[in-house]
Amino acid sequence: MPPVGPDVLVIGAGPSGSVVAAMLAKRGYQVLVMERQHFPRFSIGESLLAYSTQVLLEAGLLDAVLAGGFQFKNGATFVCDDEYSEFNFANKFSAGASFTFQVVRSEFDHLLAKEAERCGATVRYGVEITAVTTGASPEVTVKTETGEVEVHRPRFVLDASGFGRTLARLLELEKPSDFPVRAARFAHVKDGIVAGDFDRQKIRIGINPTHRDVWSWLIPFPNGNSSLGIVATREHLARYTGTAEEQYWAMIADEPKLRALLENAHTVRPVGEIVGYAANVKTLHGPGFALLGNAAEFLDPVFSSGVTIALHSAKLAADLLDRQFRGEAVNWQQEFAEPLMFGIETFRTFVTGWYDGSLQDVIFYPDKEPQIHRMICSVLAGYAWDPANPYTGPVSARRLRALAATCRAASARRAEAAGPS
């Protein structure tokens, strides 16, 4: 009996799920998106990278996002006490969009899900995937909120379930991340920042001057609110006592420049916490399925790479499935996993360099050679898949280490020449 069901069943209506659904539905495929929650719903991950604008443009979704009225973003600032460094995405090395958005995710994700429907996909809410068998004829078991069980037989399953990690759990694909366990505490605040004190078109990444692996994000929205979060190891967090809100503000107070900027701020959303978010999998694909976005791998929030990786994986998967459905032979390892991992390796290099201090030395080095600044800026703008940039892919770790050593040596020479202060 031929399979009964959609061409593609997508698990989850986050950015990767909605974008892949929109792309495939536009090409005439029957796409069914199954989302456990009801939208709008809160999600962390509010600062996008410029490359994600490029994917939204290619998916035909950029006009809708522009109409959404989200905060424009054109770069990032890094602050550690008196050290300050600014990256403007317009200076990036790679071609492509140089602006992006800072988004309240409940609104952004809902907008993308509605766009997927407008393109022809069916999106169902309040339905949870509970079992999946893969192979040439996948079977997906779904539980509704009223307890009914449905079985769907799509031609292909795309897992876009993010931190739900549905297929990783159900198919035992989980692999521990090699990053140490860190935690993020976050809230939305009415920031009370005086106009002119801060460029609201940039994410601000602040570094605790005495613990340089402890850092904060400040992501402004257009309505005077900001997303404000702190990331630290569990050991560091254990130093703080009191309520979640008291601990949160105490951590912010440990970064004096941030405390001064936010002297009039107060929370407008309860403080939340996510612990141990780094995740990995044994494989990104198998017979009849592939993993997108966070359902596959998550590194660290520091460079806001999550949604960008999610959108790039959606784009790769949509193109490959289209070819596969048209009868072409597709090699998911060579044409999906390996190209996707190229950019993930770039971000891995940057995250590792951030926490071992080498990337911070590069970022704050005042006399960066302009072309190198453009290359680093390009990765920070999300163009992590550009093979023409020497700081991308598997070679990026070696090159970044060499660059950091050069910056450190030059800084030491400069300090020596300046003599004792």
Member of 7, 46, 115, 117 binding ligand FAD (CB under 6 A): 46
> Considering beta carbons, is residue 184 or 237 the nearer one to ligand FAD?
184
CB of 169 to ligand FAD, least distance (A): 8
Near ligand FAD by CB under 6 A, which window of 173-181, 287-295, 359-367, 396-404?
287-295
Q: How many residues bind ligand FAD (CB under 6 A)?
A: 37
Amino acid in position 320: L
Nearer to ligand FAD, 11 or 237 (CB): 11
Positions in 99-138 near ligand FAD (CB under 6 A)? 128-129
Query: What is the number of other CB atoms lying within 10 angstroms of the CB of residue 151?
Result: 12
Conformation bin of residue 240: beta by default, left when phi > 0, alpha when psi is -120 to 50: beta
Q: Does the footprint of ligand FAD cover residue 254 (CB under 6 A)? A: no
In the list 36, 200, 204, 315, the residue contacting ligand FAD (rule: CB under 6 A) is 36
Ranges of H-type helices in 287-395: 306-325, 332, 338-356, 358-364, 370-380
Residues 168-227 touching ligand FAD, rule: CB under 6 A, are 184
SS3 274: strand
Asked if 278 touches ligand FAD (CB under 6 A), the answer is: no
CB of 70 to ligand FAD, least distance (A): 13
Contact at 8 Å (CB) between 171 and 157? Answer: no
Quote the tokens at residue 289.
């399925």
Which listed range, 8-16, 261-269, 334-342, 399-407, lies at the site for ligand FAD (CB under 6 A)? 8-16
Whole-number Å distance between alpha carbons of 172 and 337: 18
Cα–Cα distance for residue pair 226/268, rounded to 1 Å: 10
- Determine if 75 is a binding residue for ligand FAD (CB under 6 A): no
Smallest separation, CB 266 to ligand FAD (Å): 21
Find the part of the chain contacting ligand FAD (CB under 6 A) among 7-15, 87-95, 190-198, 361-369. 7-15
For residue 249, what are the contacts with CB-CB under 8 A and spacing of at least 6? none
164 or 353: CB nearest ligand FAD = 164
Which H or E run includes 203? Answer: strand 202-207
> DSSP assignment, residue 194?
P
- 297 part of the interface to ligand FAD, by CB under 6 A: no
Q: Does 301 bind ligand FAD (CB under 6 A)?
A: yes
Query: 358 and 404 in contact (C-beta within 8 Å)?
Result: yes
In the complex with ligand FAD, the residue whose CB is nearer, 247 or 368, is: 247
Is the C-alpha dihedral spanning 373, 376, 379, 384 positive or negative? positive
Q: Decide whether 46 or 115 has the Cβ nearer to ligand FAD.
A: 46
Using rule CB under 6 A, residue 237 touches ligand FAD: no
CA distance 203 to 420: 35
Among 307, 316, 379, 384, which residue interacts with ligand FAD (rule: CB under 6 A)?
Answer: 307
What single DSSP character describes residue 327? T
Quote the tokens at residue 170: 């159900």
Residues from 332 through 391 that contact ligand FAD (CB under 6 A): none
Residue 293 lies near ligand FAD (rule: CB under 6 A): yes
Q: Which is nearer to ligand FAD, 247 or 308 (CB)?
A: 308
Among 75, 306, 343, 353, binds ligand FAD (CB under 6 A): 306
For 278, 292, 360, 369, the CA distances from 274, given in Å and listed in that order, are: 10, 21, 24, 38
Coil, helix or strand at residue 175: strand
User: Cβ atoms within 10 A of the Cβ of 223, count?
Assistant: 11
Please state the φ and ψ torsions of residue 192, each to the nearest 5 degrees.
Answer: 60, 20
Q: How far apart are alpha carbons 158 and 174 in whole angstroms?
A: 16
Considering the complex, what minimum distance in angstroms separates the CB of residue 221 from ligand FAD? 12
Beta-ladder partners of 86: 77
Closest to ligand FAD by CB, 34 vs 318, is 34
**Least distance in Å: CB of 127 to ligand FAD?**
6
Question: For binding to ligand FAD (CB under 6 A), which residues are involved?
Answer: 11-17, 34-37, 43-48, 128-129, 160-164, 166, 184, 274, 277, 293-295, 301, 304, 306-308, 310
